[in-house]
Structure 1
């Protein structure tokens, strides 16, 4: 752990070796521990005067809990020639075309990637970000037009803890990884954020509006709880 409380290291506990990400927060009142579903690491957050020794004691005293929760973290997707990538919830085969000069393109259910193999993951990530802006943006525009709920702007980001957000000034943010989820799930998340343009809370009126905007709420919430974490994992070659 560095002087400011950050950094990553491997720590031995009773259940085996785990990767620990250290955080220090001025808002934290006590040491806390969680599993980061995106990286598969244990995150230990310390208050300003929290001690590393106490955090390690907390980690080691909960070895069984850590092992059980790490076992539930889905394996990171492997993006490589012959593997597959999700788009709108449908698997598309990845075909590496090193001699081509077309970037990334789709033919049927196959995503073709040109260039050197070491750039394959980066090119696919850029491609999906572009697809997210196009596809999620189109869904947002359609639903906004149908409902009269128009955001001030749309941004596409890579977020760790949320699929979307809406600010007080009407700006909507969507996570680019949402483009890998089924369209019904995309529709629900977008409807959820549009509903915040009228209700900046999660009260009964908000949920009534969400249910009027989309028929997919129950299915989408179940899908995100069951399968959403795998989309947050860092992609591997």
Structure 2
């Protein structure tokens, strides 16, 4: 696969050309390899002091692992007329109505999108981001009030490294793609970040608080680990 002493910009695995994203991290303790579920690219984290030759050998040894991960990725589902996407875990069929007005709305298990075909992807994405922002803000504030804490701000982003985050100032951030996860999973991630308003660590006290907020949080954590990559295959 590789023969040069410098790291390549792409890899060829099972006849597929994959982008290689390399990040050198002084905090990393070991080489870390990840397949990006959004585009199928490969990300390699290299700790300080690790040579390119060592990194290349690591990649070569893990060709089979990369191929297996690619094989397990669910198929891509673009936002197009007739496609089915989950919203809070329930499948909705996309219905494009180019001549209608009203932007984007839902009725039962259908999500309607108006406007030109070339704007469908952006319009539906913006709608889902807005829904995610609204749900995450409302539920975060409610849970924070329940434990006597306060949320200063809620934002949604298209993060791939984490589902949510909490700053020391009380600002919470979530992946907007959680709006497509089952509702219980979304509630767990919200509870996880709200618990960080009180405990800025993953201590036993933190997990006790998470358990109080979401008693079955282990089930939701397992879903994210097993099925979470599916959320990046939509859109």
| 8 A contact 1:39–1:234 mirrored in 2 | no
* Counterpart residue number, 1:141: 141
Contact 1:187 1:216 in 2 (8 A): no
* Residue 189 of structure 2: aligned partner: 189
Please give the residue correspondences for 1:149-164 in structure 2 after superposition, counting only pairs within 5 Å: 149-164=149-164
Give the CA deviation at 1:166: 0.8
- Stretch deviating more after TM superposition (114-123 or 37-46): 37-46
Q: Which residue of 1 aligns with 2:12?
A: 12
With normalisation by structure 1, the TM-score equals 0.85
Deviations 1:117-151 (A, max 9, x none): 12211111100001111122121122223222212
**How many angstroms apart in 2 are the aligned matches of 1:116 and 1:144?**
41
* CA spacing shift, 1:32–1:127, aligned 2, 3 Å: same
SS in 1 for 2:179: helix
Is this contact kept in 2: 1:20–1:44, CA < 8 A? no
- Name the structure 2 match of 1:200: 200
Equivalent residue of 1:82, what SS?
Answer: coil
Residue in 2 aligned with 1:229?
229
User: Which segments of 5 or more consecutive residues in structure 2 lack a partner in the other structure?
Assistant: 1-5
What is the CA–CA distance in structure 2 between the aligned matches of 1:223 and 1:62, rounded to whole Å? 26
Distance 1:30 1:145 in 2: 40
Distance 1:199 1:222 in 2: 22
C-alpha distance in 2 between matches for 1:76 and 1:160: 16
Q: Residue 173 of structure 1 aligns with which residue?
A: 173
Native 8 Å contact 1:86 1:180 kept in 2 = yes
Separation in structure 1 between the aligned mates of residue 7 and residue 176 of structure 2, nearest angstrom: 27
Q: 1:7 to 1:219 in 2, by over 3 A?
A: same
2:20 matched residue in structure 1: 21
Any conservation in 2 of the 1:144–1:194 contact (CA below 8 Å)? yes
Matches within 5 A, 1:3-82: 9=10, 11-13=11-13, 15-25=14-24, 27=26, 32-46=32-46, 55-82=55-82
In structure 1, runs of 5+ residues without a counterpart are none
Give the superposed CA RMSD: 2.5
> Displacement of 1:152 after TM fit?
1.9
Distance 2:135 2:119 in 1: 24
Q: In 2 relative to 1, CA 85–20 (structure 1 residues): closer, same or farther, beyond 3 Å?
A: same
Greater displacement, 201-210 / 74-83? 74-83
Change (3 A) 1:7 1:220: same
The alignment partner of 1:173 has SS state of strand
For the residues of structure 1 that align with 2:138 and 2:25, how far apart are their CA atoms? 40
The verdict on how the C-alpha distance between 1:30 and 1:109 changes in structure 2, with shifts beyond 3 A counting, is closer
1:117 and 1:20 map into 2 onto residues whose CA distance is 29
Q: Any idea what SS the aligned residue of 2:210 has? A: helix
Helix, strand or coil at the partner of 1:151: coil
Secondary structure of the corresponding residue to residue 121 of structure 1: helix
